[in-house]
């Protein structure tokens, strides 16, 4: 059943993709105002998800340190590395927005 549903959806996406192709509007500045709006939404989504991920990481690290205090140094290192990688998502989004919206 799942394979059949997957193949039906795949065929639908393949055959329906030309429908969504829009002809050129002539001037690229006509829809430029949507770039700033979508950039704001993307930064809000990225910041919100980073906050959720950081809260989950800190909660798991605190629980791990509480269960095994002897491994707190290793847990702290893994926590800091994880937090840096999570925060890089928001920073990459910010860099893309700064480069795209002028």
Dump pLDDT digits (tens) for 59-70. 999 999 999 999
Task: Collect all residues with Cβ–Cβ distance below 8 Å to 76 and sequence separation of at least 6.
Answer: 61, 65
- Kindly report the CATH number that applies to the domain delimited by 42-102: 1.20.20.10
38-51 pLDDT, tens digit each: 888 989 999 999 99
- Return the domain boundaries, the chain: 42-102
Give CA–CA dist 77/56, Å, rounded. 16
Does this model's pTM top 0.85? My answer is: no
Among 89, 9, 93, residue whose Cα is nearest residue 51: 89
First-to-last C-alpha distance (Å) of the chain: 49
Number of Cβ within 10 Å of residue 75's Cβ equals: 19
């Amino acid at each position: 059943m799942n394979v059949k549903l997957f193949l039906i959806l795949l065929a639908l996406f393949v055959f329906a993709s030309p429908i969504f192709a829009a002809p050129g509007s002539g001037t690229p500045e006509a829809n430029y105002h949507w770039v700033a709006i979508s950039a704001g939404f993307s930064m809000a989504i990225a910041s919100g998800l980073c906050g959720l991920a950081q809260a989950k990481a800190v909660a798991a690290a605190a629980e791990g340190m509480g269960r095994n205090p002897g491994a707190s140094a290793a847990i702290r290192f893994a926590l800091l590395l994880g937090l840096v990688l999570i925060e890089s998502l928001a920073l990459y989004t910010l860099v893309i927005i700064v480069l795209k919206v002028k």
